[in-house]
């Protein structure tokens, strides 16, 4: 009896889902941006993301939603193009997403300019995007800015700024940021750490 009931419930769910999808598809054809986004979303996420034909179909609907000013669709396009290493296609979407405060988009843009993906390496731009991502609480971005100040790439070498960004990374929860901040802070206070400090403590 229970199995029969479950079968009925599953069947009803499938029918409702199919009707919902059909409704979304029709609304999308009528230029409803949100419908296009919702219809496309299952095609570009989860298991469907691994099936190229389905994913490409979903991307086409996402593109339509983005053109119709559904910004969530634009965000998805940027993320997908970046993960597929189609950096030139990703840049305009990621840039707009970053402007609207999407942390991962700012982080991706920083990486694109740092590594020169489909564009020339631009350390100053990389720093600008990583700083934005850091302000949006990306610990990795804060750590990357610290490294920029340490190396003097895209910014003048500045130990104080380097240390402050390690602290930001630490405060957000990145252990490597805490470790590096502690090292610099101990140096500033003339506190010896590391192997030699351990050896001295033996005596």
pLDDT tens digits, one per residue of 74-110: 999 999 999 999 999 999 999 999 999 999 999 999 9
Sign of CA dihedral 46, 62, 98, 128: positive
Sign of CA dihedral 157, 159, 162, 168: negative
Distance (Å) of CA 11 to CA 5, 22, 119: 10, 17, 51
3-state secondary structure of 196: helix
**93: CB partners within 8 A, 6+ apart:** 66, 74, 75, 77, 78, 81, 105
pLDDT tens digits, one per residue of 10-51: 333 333 355 568 888 888 988 899 999 999 999 998 888 788
**136: CB partners within 8 A, 6+ apart:** 101, 102, 103, 106
- List the domain boundaries for the chain: 23-84
């Amino acid at each position: 009896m229970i199995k029969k009931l479950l079968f009925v419930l599953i069947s009803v769910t499938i029918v409702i889902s199919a009707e919902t999808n059909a409704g979304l598809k029709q609304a999308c054809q009528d230029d409803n941006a949100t419908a296009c986004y919702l219809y496309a979303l299952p095609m570009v996420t989860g298991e469907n993301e691994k099936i190229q034909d389905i994913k490409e179909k979903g991307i086409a609907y996402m593109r339509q939603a983005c053109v119709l000013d559904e910004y969530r669709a634009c965000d998805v396009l940027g993320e997908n193009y970046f993960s597929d290493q189609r950096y030139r296609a990703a840049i305009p979407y990621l840039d707009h997403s970053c402007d609207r405060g999407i942390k991962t988009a700012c982080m991706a843009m920083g990486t694109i300019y740092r590594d020169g993906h489909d564009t020339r390496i631009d350390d100053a731009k990389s720093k600008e995007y990583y700083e934005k991502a850091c302000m949006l609480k990306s610990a990795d971005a804060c750590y990357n800015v610290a490294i920029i100040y340490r190396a003097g790439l895209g910014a003048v070498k500045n130990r104080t700024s380097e240390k402050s960004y390690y602290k930001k990374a630490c405060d957000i929860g990145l252990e490597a940021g805490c470790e590096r901040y502690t090292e610099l802070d101990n140096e500033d206070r003339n506190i010896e750490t590391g192997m030699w400090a351990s050896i001295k403590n033996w005596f």
